[in-house]
Amino acid sequence: MQAMKLVRVCGLAVALTLSVSAQSPYDAALKNLKFRGIGPATMGGRVDDFAVVESDPRIIYVGAAAGGIFKTVNGGQSWQAIFEDQANPSIGDLALAPSNPSILYAGTGEPNNRQSSSWGNGVYKSMDAGATWTHLGLKETHHIGRIAVHPSDPNIV
């Protein structure tokens, strides 16, 4: 009886040792990987806001802290820059008009500036889903962090 217990304990110890020292396929694949910083180094790649068309959630607008506005019409499979011709690429907020999703407002100047993005120069409005933009003013505000559009009158912001 004592010998059987000893064999079981020894067998368990050998099994545990083998399982700890055995290398899994994941260990072999990961052993040469080293941790490294891959950016963004200056924090300029941050996303500040999303605006999604409720009636068609495949249409998404993304405002970047220092990179303008991007739009997808296919749920993120491809993106197009739609604010690249404007004077200031620092986006603080995006707002779609609830009554008309073709009307998009963009506040420039991210509110959490980290010296990696420029101050903003006010608010912009697009009446054609980001194809063209009109500067509305508020140039000296520097940071537009929130825009609210009236539920039924897209001209009240």
pLDDT tens digit sequence for 23-50: 666 677 777 777 766 655 555 567 888 9
Residues 6+ apart with CB under 8 A from 114: 43, 65
Confidence bin at 111 (pLDDT 50/70/90)? confident
pTM of the model: 0.70
Torsion angles phi and psi, residue 28, rounded to 5 = -65, -40
pLDDT value at position 69?
94
CA distances from 57 to 46, 68, 154 (A): 22, 21, 20
**34 domain residue, yes or no:** no
Domain that holds residue 63: 47-141
Q: Rounded CA gap, 119 and 102, in Å?
A: 26
**23 domain residue, yes or no:** no
Domain count, the chain: 1
**86 domain residue, yes or no:** yes
